[in-house]
Amino acid sequence: MTIQKVGVVGCGLMGHGIVQVAAQGGFQVVAVEAEQKFLDGGLARIDKSLAKLAEKSVKDGKATAEAAQAKASETRARIVGSTDRKTLADCDLVIEAIVENLDVKKQLFKELGALCKPSTIFASNTSSFPITDMAQASGRPERFVGLHFFNPVQLMKLVEVVRTAKTEDDVFAQARAFGEACGKTAVSCKDTPGFVVNRLLVPYMAEAMKMLERGDASAQDIDTAMKLGCGYPMGPIELTDYVGLDTTLFIVEGWTKRYPNDPSFAVPTLLRDLVKQGKLGRKTGQGFYKWEGDKRV
Ligand code: CAA
Ligand code: NAD
């Protein structure tokens, strides 16, 4: 694998986790944010997460306190933050994890295409948009893949590696090897709406919101039913809060526009209303449920 230096654009919920697992995988990482305060927020989350992992490995008897601390410090030293996109120019791989808006993502890749060295591989962490559209905008569709990580990135073991009709075999193999070096199991997927997981998961979350809207069951009962009835770690309503109501709405709205006649992609009214009220879930402390930090109240 020729990938050594990795850039991650966006250091929010997903981006900070991708930065961290890439650094844990031994890569040099540049985290680029739009504003300093968001960068500081993302890096602070990484510090907290590395401290948690160190604490856990001591508790589990996997390392001494000194060794765990040294490992966390080494990982952290591989990460630099910046608000200047030019720092991405010499990266071997740049992963985009910004807001789920196709026009904004395409504009970013157009700029990155002009800025980065010709060999740089581009990847998007999009939940739902066509990789092909962003690949086209970058001007180098043959060096473009989807690398779809899952939330929380530090704990979820999967990465979907998405290839388009134009992705070169070697680029795809390198992206897959990168995902595995980050400690994930990689699955391959074609460039289809939602790839494997979200094509199944998001309509299920939307259906649960429609159930709530109709008054068929309470949020708590829907979540308890799916946890105890199916063994899922979280119910669909709590999971929507966890993912972010804004991100979920962007995903469903994007699909509604592209596939207006498919009822499984219809937008739940409740989702639209809560987003309008600024109730975005865990990230704002209120969604369907109340949250304090990472915990549901
Ligand atoms: N960094 C490091 N360590 C962390 C951590 C972090 N960010 N978060 C938690 N931990 C540690 C905790 O300290 C804890 O350690 P101990 O076992 O030593 O106490 C351990 O990890 C487990 O943490 P929790 O007790 O908080 O975790 P849990 O057992 O309740 O599981 C969960 C939490 C993994 C999030 C689980 O609830 C889960 O799997 N939920 C479903 C998540 C899911 O479905 N994600 C996919 C969303 S969809 C998506 O991502 C795609 C998209 O495009 C929208
Ligand atoms: P988020 O809102 O938490 O973070 C996005 C970050 O990108 C913000 O910090 C914002 O300041 C930054 N940003 C926006 N435009 C930028 C630009 N032009 N340059 C640099 N930084 C910019 O969102 P998120 O939940 O981390 O989602 C990011 C991407 O990952 C989306 O495409 C989303 O669909 C996808 N995704 C989300 C989840 C999830 O569960 N939330 C899971 C998998 C994939």
Smallest CA separation from ligand 2 atom 31, residue: 100
> Quick one: 177 and 243 in the same domain?
no
> Quick one: 229 and 266 in the same domain?
yes
> Quick one: 134 and 221 in the same domain?
no
d(CA 194, CA 215): 28
> Quick one: 148 and 221 in the same domain?
no
Distance from the CA of 9 to the center of ligand 2, in angstroms?
A: 9
Ligand with minimal distance to 283 CA: 2
For ligand 2, what atom is nearest to the CA of residue 126?
Answer: 32
53: containing domain: 5-190
Split at pLDDT 50, 70, 90, the class of 265 is confident
Active site residue 148: yes
Last residue of a domain, one of 164, 190, 216: 190
Q: Which of 124, 127, 128, 138 is catalytic?
A: 127
Probe target for ligand 2 pocket from 247, 249, 294, with the most ligand atoms within 8 Å of CB = 247
> Quick one: 176 and 213 in the same domain?
no
For the cut 90, the answer to whether the pLDDT of residue 294 exceeds it is no
> Quick one: 42 and 70 in the same domain?
yes
Residue 297 within a domain: no
For the cut 90, the answer to whether the pLDDT of residue 263 exceeds it is no
Number of domain units in the chain: 2
> Quick one: 120 and 239 in the same domain?
no
Residue 294 within a domain: no
Last residue of a domain, one of 163, 190, 217: 190
pLDDT, one tens digit per residue, over 192-251 is 999 999 999 999 999 999 999 999 999 999 999 999 999 999 999 999 999 999 999 999
CATH number at residue 159: 3.40.50.720
Smallest CA separation from ligand 2 atom 19, residue: 34
> Quick one: 169 and 215 in the same domain?
no
pTM, full prediction: 0.97
Distance from the CA of 294 to the center of ligand 1, in angstroms?
A: 9
For the cut 90, the answer to whether the pLDDT of residue 170 exceeds it is yes
d(CA 35, CA 82): 9
pLDDT for residue 41 = 98
Residue 102 within a domain: yes
CATH number at residue 282: 1.10.1040.10
pLDDT, one tens digit per residue, over 68-116 is 999 999 999 999 999 999 999 999 999 999 999 999 999 999 999 999 9
Residue 114 within a domain: yes
